[in-house]
Structure 1
Amino acid sequence: MRFEHRDVETDASVVDRVWRTHSAVGDTMTSAARTCCHLVLTRMRGRLHVSLRGPETRATTAPVPPDAEFLGVRLALGAVLRPHPAASIVDGFVPLPVTESGRVVIGGEDWEAPTYENVEQFVRRLLGAGMLVRSPLRAEEHPAGHPEVRSQRTRQRRHRALTGLSRTAVAQIDRVNAAATMLRHGDDWRAVVETLGYFDQAHLGHALRRYLGRTARELRGDDDAAMSFLYKIRPSPGS
């Protein structure tokens, strides 16, 4: 399986990337930890299956059916597809109904299933109907309008309610994805440790195995995309 992915030319505050791939034979793949939700459409044997996958806090192994086409819409951190908040599907997913005519049911309404080429129109329709919204994470980071700044504990609780994850978990997952990007670019583990603030090689290795299900050596040599490492991020998380 090889993944093709691109930016979505619409509101970047709700959708990050769109991707697609095809499986020739039945197999398994490693699903890496992620901080956001994915809308995944799978076509196989003439039928469409749709699910909203939540944030994942660790790497897992998932079966891949043969001769299937996959389309994924990666939501931005904090984006919500109503009525399914991220916090309700952490390390899980919710199947979305599909009508006999192949339309996706979201929020009690049926929508034309998107393709890789026209996903922008699909996103705009969901935005216009209020079905796809971005949670106000920036407002949570910088509360204003009142002299008493919201407590750290309250902000942490609010962040988890909006994203399903703590700030610490988000930072750790972002950092390990940045580490994987550097390793795939050929950087030595020492450079990764120094750049991203890992304690040592063992600390880096533990994070890679926990969140990506790969070792540094496997990441440098594994270019067959048999894992859901679908996009590159900046070497410095959050920058």
Structure 2
Amino acid sequence: MSGLEVEEAMTLRFEHRDTEIGASVVDRVWRTRSDAEDTMTSAARTCWHLILSRRRGCLLAGLRGPETRATVAPVPPDTEFLGIRFALGTVLRPHPASSIINGNVPFPVTDSGRVVIGGDDWEVPTYDNVEHFVRRLQDAGLLVRSRLGEEERERPGADPTMRTLQRRYRAATGLSRTAVTQIDRANAAATMLLGGHGWRAVVETLGYFDQAHLAHALRRYVGHTARELQAGEHSTLSFLYKIPPVPGS
């Protein structure tokens, strides 16, 4: 298991890693535990997650879709969370990303503690064996990877219009390319600010027009100002994932 990292987010301590499957399907696996009842600022996200939570022996499972704005989410006490963040363009056939934008889809859990997805029940994964779970979903044809329309460009004689490519991109991700770039860039900006960079360096590095442009993006997509992020004067934040050097790529 490579890429193991630990990051603190106020009362939540996130442990996360990459996977043996590779970033083409799963972007990141994470886990955390809450000690007390709290709220969390959930930053906008381009990808969907499968989230499993366990509290006092009770298991809950479901999808959290891409989010187009920052929201405040409740955090129950004494709860263990396991999350699988799927790469942009990965599709769970019963629940395409476009159907769960800014939403959640709960999955039934059997009396024996297995989660029901696509009409079949599955053994609940652990932090260390997510790869086995994901491969089983792939083998069953439930989990597939779209190349977001790029494969159409490579077919002999294929010449899809830009509108066609945009429609297929949105069908696979639930978002436009512009929205993906804006959300990824805001997450990158927040990560830089939390890491000690000044707003001028963020604007220059990530291509914002000016401080006002950056401030607007942070309010919409992260829910906190640059000053709050730099000074640590913010509520608990959802995990800010490291993204590619070029946001949206």
- TM-score class, shorter-chain normalisation, is over 0.9
1:217 aligns with 227
Write the distance in 2 (CA, Å) between the matches of 1:60 and 1:140: 35
Shift in CA distance, 186/217, structure 1 to aligned 2, threshold 3 Å = same
1:51 aligns with 62
- Aligned with 1:182 (options 167, 189, 192): 192
Cα deviation for residue 235 of structure 1 reads: 4.5
Cα deviation for residue 136 of structure 1 reads: 2.5
Write the distance in 2 (CA, Å) between the matches of 1:176 and 1:143: 32
- State which drifts further: 223-232 or 153-162: 223-232
In 2, are the aligned partners of 1:2 and 1:225 still within 8 Å (CA)?
no
Cα deviation for residue 221 of structure 1 reads: 3.2
Shift in CA distance, 191/85, structure 1 to aligned 2, threshold 3 Å = same
In 2, are the aligned partners of 1:208 and 1:215 still within 8 Å (CA)?
yes
Shift in CA distance, 156/193, structure 1 to aligned 2, threshold 3 Å = same
2:81 aligns with 70
* Partner secondary structure for residue 72 of structure 2: strand
Corresponding letter in the other structure for 1:197: G
Write the distance in 2 (CA, Å) between the matches of 1:109 and 1:26: 33
Q: Please, what is the CA RMSD of the aligned residues?
A: 1.8
Write the distance in 1 (CA, Å) between the matches of 2:130 and 2:232: 29
- Aligned with 1:156 (options 160, 166, 186): 166
Shift in CA distance, 230/191, structure 1 to aligned 2, threshold 3 Å = closer
Alignment of 1:115-130 (within 5 A): 115-130=126-141
Write the distance in 2 (CA, Å) between the matches of 1:140 and 1:55: 23
Shift in CA distance, 70/94, structure 1 to aligned 2, threshold 3 Å = same
Write the distance in 1 (CA, Å) between the matches of 2:153 and 2:224: 36
- State which drifts further: 222-231 or 36-45: 222-231
Alignment of 1:4-153 (within 5 A): 4-137=15-148, 139=150, 142-146=153-157, 149-153=159-163
Provide the aligned length of Structure 1 versus Structure 2: 238
1:194 aligns with 204
Shift in CA distance, 225/184, structure 1 to aligned 2, threshold 3 Å = same
In 2, are the aligned partners of 1:33 and 1:57 still within 8 Å (CA)?
yes
Shift in CA distance, 225/106, structure 1 to aligned 2, threshold 3 Å = farther
Cα deviation for residue 142 of structure 1 reads: 3.4
2:6 aligns with none
Corresponding letter in the other structure for 1:23: S
Which stretches in structure 1 are left out of the alignment for 5+ residues?
Answer: none
Give CA deviations for 1:27-69 in whole Å, capped at 9, x if unaligned.
Answer: 1001110111100001012110001111100000011111000
Shift in CA distance, 33/202, structure 1 to aligned 2, threshold 3 Å = same
* Partner secondary structure for residue 237 of structure 2: coil
Cα deviation for residue 174 of structure 1 reads: 1.1
* Partner secondary structure for residue 3 of structure 1: strand
* % identical aligned pairs: 71
In 2, are the aligned partners of 1:39 and 1:50 still within 8 Å (CA)?
yes
In 2, are the aligned partners of 1:179 and 1:235 still within 8 Å (CA)?
no
In 2, are the aligned partners of 1:54 and 1:93 still within 8 Å (CA)?
yes
In 1, are the aligned partners of 2:41 and 2:235 still within 8 Å (CA)?
no
